[in-house]
Amino acid sequence: MINLKSKLPLVGDTIFSEMSTLAQQLNAINLGQGFPDYQPDTELLNAVCQAIQQGPNQYAPMIGVPALRQAIRDKTIAHQGHAYDPDADITVTSGATEALTSSILALVQAGDEVILIDPSYDLYAPVVTLAGGLTVRVAMNPPTADTPRFSLDWDAIAHAVTPKTRLLMLNFPHNPSGLTLREEDLDALEHIAAHHDFLILSDEAYEHIVFDGNPHVSPVSRPALASRCILVSSFAKTFHATGWKIGYCCAPSSISQEVRKVHQFTVYSVSTPMQTGIASYLKQTQAIHGLSAFYQRKRDRLVQGLKASRLQPLHSEGTFFLLVDTRALGQGPEKDLAIRLTREAGVATIPVSAFYADPAAPAANHQLLRLCFAKQDATLDDAIEKLANL
C-alpha cells in the first residue's frame, strides 16, 4: 500500500465541475459554471486557423510571443492606464489560472499571510496553502434589506494587515458578486499600502465587462499601487473562449522575474498559434468595446425575466454573473437549494457559499445563488421560464 499524504486533503472537485456534471446528468440548463454557449467571433477563429496553418507551430518563447505581449501592453495602457515593458514585465500564461498560481507560488513564502476577501474565487486559498502561506479571510459586508449588495469593508481589511502580510488578493469586477471598484476604494487601498509593504495580486479576468457606463477601475491605474501590483487577466471572458486557456500577468520586472521562474517549470510556454492568432485579432478588432453593452443586455434580460419568479435579483455592476436572493423559496444551505433547483426546475446555478472558507457555515450562507448570463437569449428565456414556474 502506497503511503500517500495529500497536500490538499480538504480539496475535492470544484463546485463548478460539480454543478456542470449534475446539469449534464439531469439535462438541466447550465447557468452554473461561467462559460458562454456561443462561439467566439469568426474573425478570431479565422486568425487562429490561419496561424495554425501558416505556423510557427513550435515552442513559443517562454514569456510569450512578442506580438501578443506588445498587444497586451497597448491594451493595458488604454484600459488600465499603465505602461508595462513587454519584454521585462509581461508574461503570457495558460489562462488566468496559471498566472494566479505561478504568482502565488513564486511570491508567497512559508508562514506568509495572504489576505482573501470573501466571497473569494476558489483557486486562491488552496494555492496559498500549497505555497506554505496562511490565508487571512476578511468578509465583505453581505447584502441586507437596506443595502441589497455586497460591499467592501476597508477598515476590516486594514485591520487584517500585519507585518507578515505578503499578499492582498483583489478580484474586480468581482466573481461572484459583480461588484466593481470605485476611485474611493483605491484611495482606501493607497492609504493602507502607504504604511505596509505587501504585494497586491489583482485578478481582472472580467476587466472588459463593466455596466451602466462605468469605467473599469484597476489598482494599477495608481502608480503607488502599480509598483507593488501583479495584474492578471485572460482572454477567456473577453473573447468568449474559456477553453483556450490563454491569459497573462503584468508586473514590475523584479516581480515578473520571480513569477517566470515558476511559469518556466510548470508550463514553459503557451500554445504558439493561439497567441499569434489572438495578437493579430487584437490589432484589428473593436470587439472589446462592445462587450460591456453585449453583456448588459443579457443582464437586463435576465433581471427583467426573473420578475415573474420568486427569485430576487441583486444588482450586478460587472462580470457575467447575477446573484439572486432565494429567501422566498425558504431557508437552508445554499448548496442544497442549488441541487434542488437543478433537479426540480432544471436549472443549474452556483451557491455563493462555495466562495467561503467553510461553505457549510451559517456565515457563508446568505440565501444567494449565482446565475451566469453568458448564454444565448433563447437559453436565458428557457431558464427564466423554468425558474418562473418554481
Question: Which residues of the chain form contacts with ligand GLN (CB under 6 A)?
Answer: 14, 16, 33-34, 175
Answer whether 251's CB lies under 8 Å from 231's CB. yes
CA 332: distance to chain centroid? 27
Q: Which CB, 34 or 219, lies closer to ligand PMP?
A: 34
Q: Which CB, 171 or 309, lies closer to ligand PMP?
A: 171
Distance CA 376, CA 88 (A): 40
Q: How far is the CB of 127 from ligand GLN (least distance, A)?
A: 13
Distance CA 230, CA 198 (A): 12
In the chain, the amino acid numbered 59 is Y
- Supply φ then ψ for residue 262, to 5 degrees: -75, -45
Q: Which of residues 159-178 bind ligand PMP (CB under 6 A)?
A: 171, 175
Q: Which of residues 223-242 bind ligand PMP (CB under 6 A)?
A: 234, 236, 242
Q: Is 90 left (phi over 0), alpha (psi -120 to 50) or beta?
A: beta
User: Quick one: which segment of 4-12, 66-74, 94-102, 352-360 binds ligand PMP (CB under 6 A)?
Assistant: 94-102
Q: How far is the CB of 209 from ligand GLN (least distance, A)?
A: 13
Among ligand PMP, ligand GLN, none, what does residue 277 contact (CB within 5–8 Å per kind)?
none
Tally of residues, the chain: 390
Residue whose C-beta lies closest to ligand PMP: 95
Q: Is 367 in the site for ligand PMP (CB under 6 A)?
A: no
Q: How far is the CB of 176 from ligand PMP (least distance, A)?
A: 8
Q: How far is the CB of 119 from ligand GLN (least distance, A)?
A: 11
Among ligand PMP, ligand GLN, none, what does residue 234 contact (CB within 5–8 Å per kind)?
ligand PMP
Report how far apart, in Å, the C-alpha atoms of 357 and of each of 96, 139, 252, 368, 370 are.
Answer: 21, 10, 31, 16, 17
Task: Give me the residues paired with residue 325 across strands.
Answer: 312, 368
Q: Is 96 in the site for ligand PMP (CB under 6 A)?
A: yes
Report how far apart, in Å, the C-alpha atoms of 106 and of each of 99, 230, 255, 257 are.
Answer: 10, 12, 9, 9
Preceding peptide of 56 cis, ω within 30° = yes
Instruction: Rule CB under 6 A: choose which of 113, 118, 185, 203 binds ligand PMP.
Output: 203
Among ligand PMP, ligand GLN, none, what does residue 203 contact (CB within 5–8 Å per kind)?
ligand PMP
Q: Which CB, 93 or 272, lies closer to ligand GLN?
A: 93
Produce one character per residue of 237-275: b if its CB has 16 or more CB atoms within 10 Å, e if not.
bbbbbbebbbbbbbbbeebbebbbebbeeebebbbbbbb
Distance CA 246, CA 61 (A): 14
Q: Is 95 in the site for ligand PMP (CB under 6 A)?
A: yes
Kindly state the number of chain residues that form the binding site for ligand PMP, as judged by CB under 6 A.
14
Distance CA 5, CA 27 (A): 37
Q: How far is the CB of 233 from ligand GLN (least distance, A)?
A: 13
Other CB atoms within 10 Å distance of the CB of residue 83: 13
User: Quick one: which segment of 80-88, 93-101, 152-160, 267-275 binds ligand PMP (CB under 6 A)?
Assistant: 93-101
The helix/strand/coil state of 230 is strand
Q: Which CB, 147 or 376, lies closer to ligand GLN?
A: 376
Q: How far is the CB of 274 from ligand GLN (least distance, A)?
A: 18
Cell of 82: 499603465
Q: Which CB, 198 or 206, lies closer to ligand PMP?
A: 206
Q: How far is the CB of 144 from ligand GLN (least distance, A)?
A: 25
Q: Is 113 in the site for ligand PMP (CB under 6 A)?
A: no
Distance CA 137, CA 195 (A): 20
Query: Given the C-alpha cell 487571512, which residue does it identify?
Result: 136
Instruction: Rule CB under 6 A: choose which of 143, 247, 346, 351 binds ligand PMP.
Output: 247
Q: How far is the CB of 179 from ligand PMP (least distance, A)?
A: 12
Distance CA 202, CA 86 (A): 18
How far the first Cα of the chain sits from its last, in Å, is 50
Q: How far is the CB of 16 from ligand GLN (least distance, A)?
A: 3
Q: Which residues bind ligand PMP (CB under 6 A)?
A: 34, 95-97, 121, 171, 175, 203, 205, 234, 236, 242, 245, 247
